[in-house]
Amino acid sequence: MPVLYISFPKQATKGNAPSYQKVKGLSLSNLDISKKVEMKELQIPATEVMRARGGAQAALHDRASHATRAQFGRRVFVRAVLEISNYCRENCLYCGMRRENRRLSRFRAQADQLAELLIEHRPASVTDINIQAGEDPVAARQVALPLIRTLRRNTSLGISVCLGTLNKDLYKELREAGASFYIMKFEVANPARYAEFQAPGTLAERVDHIRRLAASGWAVSSGFIAGLPGQSEEDLVQNFALARELPLAGCSVSPFIPGDETPLAAKEGGNIDLTLNSMAALRLMRPDWIIPSVSALNLAEPGSGYARGLKSGANLVTINLTPAEIRGNYLLYKRDRFIMTEERILNAIAGEGLTPSEQSLAEFCRLKQFNRVGSLESPASGTGQTDERTAVYAAAED
């Protein structure tokens, strides 16, 4: 069976994905789940791995689960999310909060109300909070900053933010206020497709922001969408290639969900197995990364998608604490949202024989040196020459 052989430059041009060529290689049936997955492998999956089903898929997921347990034990990070604003200056075709959606009732939450919720009423299992919004600098300043400062004074919560591309001064203020983990997804690694979907700015700009955040001390997580309309297998592999070269602490894979009130509403949704295989491949590529089981998995496969994510390499779950009166207008996907409550989260964790982590995600990242891990350039070399380091990932065989 053919595999994909990836050639990486030590220092890629910003926004450009590494090149690739096909050669003959191994088969997925040769994967041995008892073999230790070394971080130095940094394997890129063959396109055939994304198609794995049946026994081949089970072997792939089992090895990903084994790699997760070897790195993190049976603990899973439990984070809460607060969605503070659905205003957005961007116009992504796949998102219902895009600026051209005139039917959406816009909101900005009140920082003091959210602070009370987290200080007095947060679930006991939560060690971290993710403050999330559309790309809304007003909310970043007027809601996120005062909320972070209050939480830092009154709690030991780790604080993550997902607020889009901002200016360097605002990044600095957010970090000085007490946030330490920044989520910035690149969504699609093909620059032409990135522009086609009207994702924020250009891919090169997005990648530059990710690099600058990491260089300034943030732990950064990124992510991409599996199953976007017209996405080729080569497009999907480019996502792994770009993620591999970035200085990341983690990465997510979300299935494409045809969002309500978007130009893509009538398109076919992403395949759950494609998404789960991508998560497993991501785990094998980077055993040390934080990989979430995203709520969209339960939209792609109601009732079981989330738990399958935990079987496929995920080690982070998220409880939604956004107040019900505003949650319905945070339109990432569908208005009929599947809300991950504490009960659902804890049941999913227990169902897989896992336990909530007592250590916060923020503390874990503080103790790790993530910011240099994504670099393919040796600190001693600094030559900028192409390094023909390669990664061969087993091809699927069912």
Q: Structural domain tally of the chain? A: 1
In this prediction, residues 101-122 reach a mean pLDDT of: 97
DSSP string across 201-249:
S-HHHHHHHHHHHHHTT-EEEEEEEES-TT--HHHHHHHHHHHHHS--S
- Higher-confidence residue of 361 and 378: namely 361
What percent of the chain lies above the pLDDT cut of 90? 79
pLDDT at 19 over 80: no
One-letter amino acid at 387 equals: D
Q: For residue 372, tell me if it sits in a domain.
A: no
* Residue 279: Cβ-neighbour burial (10 angstroms; 0-12, 13-18, 19+): buried
Q: For residue 358, tell me if it sits in a domain.
A: yes
Question: How many C-beta atoms lie closer than 10 Å to residue 54's C-beta?
Answer: 9
* Beta-carbon contacts of residue 225 (< 8 Å; ≥ 6 apart): 94, 187, 188, 253, 254, 255, 256, 270
Per-residue confidence band for 42, with pLDDT thresholds at 50, 70 and 90: low
Q: For residue 394, tell me if it sits in a domain.
A: no
Q: For residue 378, tell me if it sits in a domain.
A: no
CA 336 to CA 259: how far, in whole Å? 11
Per-residue confidence band for 372, with pLDDT thresholds at 50, 70 and 90: very low
Q: Is the dihedral of CA 331, 336, 338, 340 positive or negative?
A: positive
- How many helices (H) and strands (E) the chain has is answered by 15, 11
In this prediction, residues 251-268 reach a mean pLDDT of: 97
pLDDT value of residue 43: 75
Q: What is the pTM of this model?
A: 0.86
What percent of the chain lies above the pLDDT cut of 70? 82
* Beta-carbon contacts of residue 387 (< 8 Å; ≥ 6 apart): 8, 9, 10, 376, 377
Per-residue confidence band for 375, with pLDDT thresholds at 50, 70 and 90: very low
Q: For residue 172, tell me if it sits in a domain.
A: yes
* Beta-carbon contacts of residue 386 (< 8 Å; ≥ 6 apart): 7, 8, 9, 10
pLDDT at 276 over 90: yes
Q: For residue 129, tell me if it sits in a domain.
A: yes
In this prediction, residues 177-182 reach a mean pLDDT of: 98
DSSP string across 268-279:
PPPPHHHHHHHH
- Lowest mean pLDDT across 30-34, 145-149, 242-246: 30-34
Distances (CA, A) of 215 to 242, 281, 334, 361: 17, 26, 36, 19
Nearest to 131 by CA among 334, 361, 365, 322: 322
CA 293 to CA 369: how far, in whole Å? 23
Q: For residue 306, tell me if it sits in a domain.
A: no
How many CA within 13 A on the CB side of residue 328? 5
- Lowest mean pLDDT across 20-24, 146-150, 156-160: 20-24
Give the CATH number, domain containing residue 101: 3.20.20.70
Per-residue confidence band for 31, with pLDDT thresholds at 50, 70 and 90: low
DSSP state of 317: E
How many CA within 13 A on the CB side of residue 380? 0
pLDDT value of residue 369: 63
Enclosing domain of residue 119: 74-230+245-267+316-366
Q: For residue 196, tell me if it sits in a domain.
A: yes
pLDDT value of residue 195: 98
- Lowest mean pLDDT across 7-11, 15-19, 297-301, 322-326: 7-11
